[in-house]
Amino acid sequence: MITTDFAPGSPCWLDLGAPDVRAAAAFYGTVLGWDYESMGEGGEVEGGMFRKDGKIVAGLGKLTEEGARSAWMIYFSVADADATTRAVRDAGGTVRVEPRDLDEWGRMAHYSDPLGGQFAVWQPGTSKGVELVDQPGSLSWTELYTSDAAAAKEFYGGILGWRFSDMELPGGGGTYSLITPEGLPDERMHGGVMQLPQEALALANGRPYWHPVFHVEDCDAAVTRVRENGGSVQMGPEDAEGVGRLAVCLDPSNADFVVLTPAES
């Protein structure tokens, strides 16, 4: 499970790059019950924070990178963003945004893995990350779709200190690799790696991609809200044994995310 103690290697932040900030704020407000707090409109900086029950759950910003698709960026907590950047380069990854300070809040950097999957890291200052996780309307899991799971595990394991445990999906659905930060028990699993054929990664033009899984109280109701507000559904809703009821969704700008009503423990 994801917690807010943000041990090194665990997810700590996520933000969405959207072509239309106001439209994205309205969509996620309706689908996930989020309140949007603007930190600037127009000009070079446009974006703000999403809150659930008063607590920060994600960020939102204007998509400005030429040719980039609208997508969620997941950040992982690290003790030293500069050391992580060196490790990314040594392991064959690409540094998309060099480490930089965001005032006193912390230090961040953006990368691509060797196959092009984009992710980011956060070295905490006064801010460790989001304020609510693993509750309705917040991040509860992270997931990487890739055409080479073995290469992904080698890269991310070396960069972020992850260990992996493999499980076979029912019905011959393949192998799913569960992610746990090094030194933490299995109950601190925070994500998974799923290998798919390259043609199944068309959303990112064949490159790997990360997406967030959001806890919702009623998956089917959330899917209805997605469709009624201009989004679409790639898969589901369907039941996953021992996991819960889930659906893979796209917002109106084709940013992907998952909604999950967890199985009762």
Question: What is the C-alpha to C-alpha distance for residues 36 and 206, in angstroms, rounded to an integer?
Answer: 32
Rounded to two decimals, the pTM is: 0.95
Residue 2 lies in a domain: no
- Whether residues 161 and 243 share a domain: the answer is yes
> Is residue 105 in some structural domain?
yes
Supply the pLDDT for residue 264.
Answer: 81
For 199, the 3-state DSSP assignment is helix
Mark whether 84 and 168 lie in a shared domain. Answer: no
> So what's the pLDDT on residue 240?
86
* Same domain (yes/no): 144, 258: yes
The enclosing domain of 44 has a CATH number of 3.10.180.10
Which of 124, 147, 173 is at the close of a domain?
A: 124
Is position 6 within any domain? no
Number of domains, the chain: 2
pLDDT at 170: 74
Q: Tell me, yes or no, whether 211 and 113 share the same domain.
A: no
Of 112, 57, 106, 59, which Cα lies nearest the Cα of 80?
106
Structure tokens at 4: 């807010």
Q: For residues 250 and 31, what is the distance between their CA atoms, to the nearest angstrom? A: 12
Among candidates 209, 213, 211, 176, which has minimal Cα distance to 192? 176
Token pair of 1 as six digits = 């499970």
Name 261's bridge partners: 245
Provide the 10 A C-beta neighbour count for residue 214: 26
Domain-located, residue 71: yes
**Domain check: are 92 and 115 in the same one?**
yes
Please check whether residues 80 and 33 belong to one and the same domain: yes
Q: Quick one: 165 and 254 in the same domain?
A: yes
- Structural contact between residues 222 and 231, judged by C-beta atoms closer than 8 angstroms: no
Q: How much is the pLDDT for 45?
A: 62
Judgement on whether residues 96 and 167 belong to the same structural domain of the protein = no
Whether the CB-CB separation of 131 and 146 falls below 8 Å is answered with no
- Answer yes or no: is 129 within a domain: no
Residue 92: domain span: 11-124
Residue-level pLDDT at 22:
94
Q: Is residue 4 part of a domain?
A: no
Task: Give 10-residue mean pLDDT values along the chain (265 residues).
Answer: 94 96 97 92 76 97 87 98 98 97 95 97 96 97 97 97 90 87 94 94 95 98 98 93 93 97 85
Q: Output the six-digit token pair for 112.
A: 């691509």
The identity of residue 190, as a single letter, is H
| Amino acid making up residue 237 | P
Decide: 77 and 109 in contact? Cβ < 8 Å.
Answer: no
Cβ atoms 152, 193 nearer than 8 A = yes
